[in-house]
């Protein structure tokens, strides 16, 4: 069972992923994130991966997919705190995660999402 | 294993002074520079040493990888290293060894004839050739060492990452951007992004003479990596020539923001980070 906290702050949800996930738990996590977005009507989703030292192709795609799914539900996503080892491997493997907002840390992520959400409402 | 006939060895020993004189005469005509670098006193000592060691070793065998040639090999390696450092050509250093032939052969020719002569000549010839190769190999080794040292010095200084302002860092790129340097740049850049939590990274390519598809690929890769960490990348220093070649080559840099001058890049960086400079009176 996934014991990853899904925290709601204001109109946003923050998901700090703190240990390496196997594929099954990752998929479960995706489902529960989306369920939470639905139930609380979140406008923003922040997935923090600052403690992960490995993001493989499956995890990468899952994250991008989650962002796309959230987008469909009217929720903007920011992936925050990707570590340099992670980025290096992703780039070297050619697994470029595009189409997703990224930020240095959660704080910047919140700021970024605020800006995007504000722009959308205008 | 072939080795030198006792008779021949005795002759060589007894005629050692003659051989030395002849050898030095040849050296004086063929490799003046070498003699100048070694110095006359030193030359006498070295040639004498070499010849003694050489004749002794010859009488044991003709395989220069063996123990009996150890001192001769070391002597030549040292000589070659020294000469390489003094910028002498490898041929001149090798000539030092090869001219021994010119000194020994005429003497042997006067003493012997027929089969014994040919046998000794062949033996001495093959050993000296091998010894000549030792000097050339040593030359290459010394060069390799120099090249490696320079390469290290270059990579160490090649990618400085400068913190320009709060949340803004800059990488001035100079020279050719090959794959290994890109790797290094990427690593250093990402590391300093992590350390400084910079929001904008400026890559200044004013110092890169040619931007081809490969270099552009490296730049895009770097920008993408920075983007993944959550940092915006601005490429500055794209002059008229570079922009022309880029478009002609069909390179698409639209994914990355670019500016002509570092000044414009900095301005943009201030805008992105929501900062302003107030100039005091």
pLDDT per residue as tens digits for the range B224-246: 889 888 899 999 988 888 888 88
User: Minimal Cα–Cα distance from A104 to chain B, Å?
Assistant: 5
Least confident of A38-47, A72-81, B27-36: B27-36
B138 and B16 in a common domain: yes
Helix (H) or strand (E) holding A84: helix A84-93
- Report the pLDDT averaged over residues B140-156: 84
Token representation of residue B67 = 């123990």
The residue among A70, A81, A18 whose CA lies nearest residue A44 is A70
Position B67 in a domain: yes
B176 and B254 in a common domain: yes
B151 and B21 in a common domain: yes
The residue among B273, B256, B164, B189 whose CA lies nearest residue B216 is B256
Q: Which of A90, A91, A103 sits opposite B230 (nearest CB)?
A: A103
B80 and B42 in a common domain: yes
Burial category of A50 from C-beta neighbours within 10 Å (exposed 0-12, middle 13-18, buried 19 and up): middle
| pLDDT confidence of residue A15 | 92
Domain boundary at B155, B180, B207, which?
B155
Please tell me the number of Cα atoms within 13 Å of A6 on its side-chain side: 18
Q: Which chain A residues contact residue B231 at CB under 8 A?
A: 104
The residue among B151, B163, B128 whose CA lies nearest residue B273 is B163
Position B269 confidence tier, pLDDT thresholds 50, 70, 90: very high
* pLDDT of B3 above 80: no
With contact defined as beta carbons under 8 Å apart, do B93 and B79 qualify? yes
Cβ–Cβ below 8 Å for A105 and B197: yes
Q: Which chain A residues contact residue B256 at CB under 8 A?
A: none
B255 and B174 in a common domain: yes
Cβ–Cβ below 8 Å for B227 and A91: no
In angstroms, the CA B108 to CA B98 distance is 16
Backbone angles phi, psi at B62, to 5 degrees: -115, 10
* pLDDT of B130 above 80: yes
User: How is the beta sheet containing A44-48 ordered, strand by strand?
Assistant: A7-9, A12-16, A44-48, A76-80, A101-103
Position B278 in a domain: no
User: Minimal Cα–Cα distance from B188 to chain A, Å?
Assistant: 10
pLDDT digits (tens, 9 = 90+) for A48-73: 998 888 888 888 888 888 888 998 88
The residue among A102, A35, A90 whose CA lies nearest residue A58 is A90
Cβ–Cβ below 8 Å for B190 and A96: no
Position B99 in a domain: yes
Position B98 in a domain: yes
Provide the domain limits for residue B218: 162-272
Residues of chain A above pLDDT 70, percent:
93
| pLDDT confidence of residue B124 | 86
Position A1 confidence tier, pLDDT thresholds 50, 70, 90: very low
Position A122 confidence tier, pLDDT thresholds 50, 70, 90: low
Q: What is the CA radius of gyration of chain A?
A: 14
CB atoms within 10 A of CB B33: 16
What CATH number corresponds to the domain at position B101? 1.10.490
Cβ–Cβ below 8 Å for A88 and B231: no
What CATH number corresponds to the domain at position B174? 3.30.750.24
B244 and B136 in a common domain: no
Q: Which of B190, B198, B229 sits opposite A102 (nearest CB)?
A: B229
Position B280 in a domain: no
* pLDDT of B281 above 70: no
B236 and B179 in a common domain: yes
* pLDDT of B155 above 60: yes
B183 and B139 in a common domain: no
CA distances in angstroms from B186 to A49, A84, B58, B176, B250, listed in the order given? 20, 9, 58, 15, 24
| Number of domains comprising chain B | 2
CB–CB contacts below 8 A, A to B: 48
Domain boundary at B118, B137, B155, which?
B155
More confident residue, B281 or B240: B240
In angstroms, the CA B168 to CA B269 distance is 7
Q: Are strands B162-165 and B168-174 parallel, antiparallel or unpaired?
A: antiparallel
In angstroms, the CA B34 to CA B135 distance is 13
Position B240 in a domain: yes
B166 and B117 in a common domain: no
CB contact, 8 Å: A96 with chain B?
yes
CB contact, 8 Å: A108 with chain B?
yes
Q: Which residues numbered 54-93 in A keep a CB inside 8 Å of some CB on B?
A: 80-84, 87-88, 90-91
Cβ–Cβ below 8 Å for B230 and A104: yes
Average pLDDT over chain B, rounded to an integer: 85
Residues of chain B above pLDDT 70, percent:
98
* pLDDT of A102 above 70: yes
Position A44 confidence tier, pLDDT thresholds 50, 70, 90: very high
Q: If phi over 0 gives left and psi between -120 and 50 gives alpha, with beta otherwise, what is residue B199? A: alpha
Between vectors from CA A56 to CA A52 and to CA A61, what angle results, nearest 5°? Answer: 105
B129 and B17 in a common domain: yes
- Report the pLDDT averaged over residues A8-20: 89
CB contact, 8 Å: A97 with chain B?
yes
Q: Which of B191, B193, B224 sits opposite A91 (nearest CB)?
A: B224
Cβ–Cβ below 8 Å for A109 and B221: no
* pLDDT of B247 above 90: no
Close Cβ partners of B50 (under 8 Å, ≥ 6 residues apart):
B72, B75, B100
B72 and B56 in a common domain: yes
Position B196 in a domain: yes
Q: Which chain B residues contact residue A108 at CB under 8 A?
A: 199, 230
Cβ–Cβ below 8 Å for B229 and A88: no
User: Minimal Cα–Cα distance from A96 to chain B, Å?
Assistant: 8
User: Minimal Cα–Cα distance from A4 to chain B, Å?
Assistant: 22
In chain A the domains, ranked by start, together with CATH numbers, are: 7-116 (3.30.750.24)
Position B27 in a domain: yes
* B250 three-class SS: coil
- Please give the ipTM for the structure prediction: 0.75
B141 and B16 in a common domain: yes
Position B169 confidence tier, pLDDT thresholds 50, 70, 90: very high
Domain boundary at B155, B189, B204, which?
B155
Position A2 confidence tier, pLDDT thresholds 50, 70, 90: low
- Report the pLDDT averaged over residues B159-164: 87
Q: Is the dihedral of CA A17, B228, B187, B269 positive or negative?
A: negative
* pLDDT of A89 above 90: no
More confident residue, B197 or B108: B197
């Amino acid at each position: 069972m996934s014991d990853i906290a899904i925290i709601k702050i204001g109109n946003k949800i923050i998901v700090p992923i703190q240990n390496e996930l196997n594929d099954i738990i990752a998929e479960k996590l995706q489902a529960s994130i989306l369920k939470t977005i639905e139930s609380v009507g979140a406008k923003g989703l922040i997935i923090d991966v600052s403690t992960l030292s490995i993001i493989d192709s499956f995890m990468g795609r899952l994250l991008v997919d989650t962002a796309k799914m959230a987008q469909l539900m009217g929720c903007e996503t920011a992936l925050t705190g990707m570590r340099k080892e992670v980025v290096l491997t992703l780039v070297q493997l050619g697994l470029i995660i595009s189409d997703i907002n990224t930020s240095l840390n959660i704080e910047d992520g919140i700021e970024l999402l605020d800006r995007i959400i504000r722009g959308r409402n205008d | 294993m072939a080795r030198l006939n006792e008779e021949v060895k005795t002759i060589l020993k007894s005629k050692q002074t003659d051989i030395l004189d002849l050898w030095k005469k040849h050296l004086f005509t063929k490799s003046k520079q070498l003699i100048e670098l070694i110095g006359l006193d030193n030359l006498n000592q070295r040639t004498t040493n070499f010849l003694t060691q050489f004749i002794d070793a010859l009488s044991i065998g003709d395989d220069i990888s063996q123990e009996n040639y150890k001192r001769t090999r070391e002597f030549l390696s040292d000589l070659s290293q020294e000469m390489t450092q003094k910028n002498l050509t490898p041929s001149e250093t090798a000539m030092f060894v090869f001219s021994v032939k010119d000194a020994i052969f005429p003497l042997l020719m006067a003493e012997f004839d027929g089969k014994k002569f040919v046998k000794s000549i062949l033996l001495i010839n093959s050993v000296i050739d091998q010894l000549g190769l030792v000097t050339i190999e040593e030359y290459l080794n010394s060069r390799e060492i120099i090249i490696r040292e320079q390469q290290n010095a270059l990579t160490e200084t090649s990618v400085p990452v400068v913190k320009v302002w709060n949340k803004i860092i800059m990488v001035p790129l100079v020279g050719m951007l090959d794959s290994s340097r890109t790797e290094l740049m990427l690593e250093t850049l990402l590391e300093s992004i992590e350390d400084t939590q910079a929001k904008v990274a400026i890559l200044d390519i004013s110092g890169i003479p040619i931007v081809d598809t490969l270099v552009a690929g490296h730049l895009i890769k770097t920008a993408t990596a920075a983007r993944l960490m959550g940092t915006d990348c601005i490429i500055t220093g794209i002059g008229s020539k570079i922009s022309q070649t880029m478009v002609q080559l069909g390179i698409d840099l639209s994914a990355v923001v670019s500016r002509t001058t570092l000044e414009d890049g900095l301005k943009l960086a201030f805008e992105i980070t929501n900062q302003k400079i107030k100039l005091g009176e």
